[in-house]
Chain A
Amino acid sequence: MSAPAEEALDRIRGDAPARNHNARTISALTSNPGCNRRAIMDAAGIDKSRLASYVGFPAQFGQSQFAITRGNVFEAQVKADGCAELLTLLRERLALALPEVSYDDLELVGGNTSPELRHARTKTLLARAAAGLDDAGTLFDHPLLRLSVGGRDVYLEPDLIAFQWKGQFHVIEIKSFPVIDGQADGEKVAAAVIQSAVYVHAMRALLADQGFPSDVVADNVVLVCPKDFSNRPTVTFVDVRKQLTVLRRQLSRLTRIDVLLSLLPPTLSLSVARPAAAVVADLRRIEARYMPECLDTCDLARFCRDESHGCTRVMGHTVSEDLGGVETVETALGLARGTLPPSPEQEDAASLLRLAWSLREECFGGVA
């Protein structure tokens, strides 16, 4: 990342401290790679929630402390006593040998917690394990990985990594949503899986740098969740190959941030120290790509939704397609009513819409 680009991002963010990317934001980014607005905001480390409030469209997020507490309690339980409960499960499912019980906490490096130091230590320990040396290590807690996203380095922290001697690394994610009768909430599992794929990808990159093949990291990630209605953990293996393919593709498509920045005026800034109207004007200069799914994943969604008012896209991709891919509702209705003559590209859409219109008239009659 070039110095001018870093400066530009700092200017865009303003005085506030930069928020870090994490696996969740990366997976959100890759699910909507065409949104430059999000890419710039995340690269600059902008507090999107604060920004959204500032421009008059506060996000409805926030985390319930009950959920946070429950998550912390469950994670603490799984990791207690050198991950005793997890070891029992891994011995069974991964066939870990009896001597494989070693636990390394990579969070503290003698009290110093700088990311560079932690990452360096993570690299060392993981490489040592991969090389099959005697003190290979089994469980690595709070490892710090690094990934290049849009030309910038992002630090990532999976929950745990397990290593099987002369075998593979497995990414382990501890989640507090339950697995009941072998089934879990599909959406939550999907989100956890995409996140894990980001970690697998980052680990492979880290180890590839040191000359290890990508299959030293397993395609299976280990999800640790509460079993049924209890607090006992249960372990599920999930194959992330599909998500990895999508991720690799999307990451490569993420336009490099400096390219995006070069499209913007040099004075552009989203700092909340500026008057709100100026910030709104500058926000609009960065192209966005709103879809309803943004409401669940991006704090700024309501602003972008309001900005897209009148576009068929606001009602969802399927609706937009059903209306012949026409951009605005007004156009779609005009074509349907026959009051708007279609352009050559709109011919097909127009005939589809006119048919639908007449069907609706037939059923409901007298519609304006």
Chain B
Amino acid sequence: MSTLTSLARALAFETGRAVPVAARRHAHLSDRPLVFVPLSLAGEANAPLACLVGSQASAPRLLVVPQPRNRDLRFAFAASLASVVLDYVDSFAASMEVIEGRNVATDAPQLLVANPSGVAFTRLLGRSTRLRRTEGEYAVEPSVPLLGLWLTYFAERNEHPGSSSMLAMTSVLAAHWATGQSTLEDANLAALIGWIDPPPGMSGPEAAAMAEDPVRCPPAGPATDPTFDNEVLAPLVRSYDHAVDDAGRARAAAALGTALRGRGAGDGPARAAGTDVAADVAWGLVAPGPASGSFVAEAMAAGPSRVHRPDGVLARRRPATGANGPSGGGGPPAQPPGTRTGRSHCGPGVRRRAGHGGGPARR
């Protein structure tokens, strides 16, 4: 944290709105990222509760584990998630070109999560699924270990500065805007967005205060709010346990889905579930235009960052890997695992196009 960014924070505090700290966008945002917003059960190592996942703003899928301690349900969730993720990854194999005699994909998958905890969750989920056996007493579907490999890959890429294969939105936004609150408070995606792009008629701090209330604005996860766990989740899980037939179980699962989406009584941005907020932010980031009407989207879309070192003083003060091109990738890009189709579009001997996945931003 330098005096410059701290001064920006002071300014943000004064104006009641976040101020930019970057003249250019320093992260590559894909046209077509996969948005992944998981929720996990409190107290466990890695017990998925639900997730919102999708590569199109219009139709994200909500996957739910109605009894998160049930191993079979857990791996059914993993299988469903696997189909979404693997379909998404496969789709990039459709568009290839030949460069220097080699087959190279023209674009690469990008995974967006809400915050660094989401990255950690992804890493753990990858770890807990990639070594599962597909036969024997505790068999899982073959897609599950493959999902694990991909999640591990994405999470690992996130550790490399300059790589954009997996991004945590709070980190990306905080690298471009300074708010008038502390970095601790910036970890709350809804609060951060509240400063950057408050609803009409509200100041940044007012929007952030509203975002801090977990009842009015459910957290983006993976952690859930304890009162949600105790008052809403626990009874719904119990009713799943007590259901005597499949219809009863299906009802309980549907009820949980409804509760997680935060729909029901009242609508409006304040009442949407954290999962939806996080997803909305992600789409706002990548799909600028009058339809989204989002200040964030326009600002993030503005100005492609340059391949070479920009001459702005601000950029010079940034760490080299952030503003630079592919050299910031931290070594050769890791080989992502093969896909279900058996055709590994990014397998050994295939190189990703220069300037990608760690390279300059594209509109």
Contact = CB atoms under 8 A, between A and B. Distances in A.
Given A292-B185, A318-B6, 13 more contacts: A68-B43, A180-B124, A293-B184, A315-B182, A316-B183, A319-B1, A319-B6, A319-B9, A319-B10, A323-B3, A323-B6, A329-B13, A329-B14
The size bracket of the interface on B is 35 or more
Contacts of B294: none
Give the secondary structure class of B's interface. helix
B14 A66 contact: no
B360 to A, nearest CB: 20
Interface string B302-325: 000000000011100000000000
Contact of B3 (A60, A322, A362): A322
A315 B226 contact: no
Interface of A: 60-71, 176-178, 180-181, 226, 228-229, 292-293, 295-296, 310, 312, 314-316, 318-319, 322-323, 329-330, 332-333, 336, 352-353, 355-357, 359-360, 362-364, 367
A228 to B, nearest CB: 7
Contacts of B11: 333, 367
Contact of B2 (A71, A180, A229, A322): A322
Interface in B284-334: 312-314
Nearest to B234: A65
B42 interface: yes
Contacts of A180: 45, 124, 127
B198 interface: no
Contact of A70 (B23, B43, B182): B43
B69 to A, nearest CB: 9
Contact of A322 (B1, B14, B45, B46): B1
A178 B45 CA distance: 6
B7 A353 contact: yes
Contacts of A333: 10-11, 14
B97 interface: no
B206 interface: no
A364 B7 CA distance: 13
B180 to A, nearest CB: 7
Nearest to B230: A65
B227 interface: yes
Given A319-B182, A333-B14, A363-B23, A176 B227 contact: no
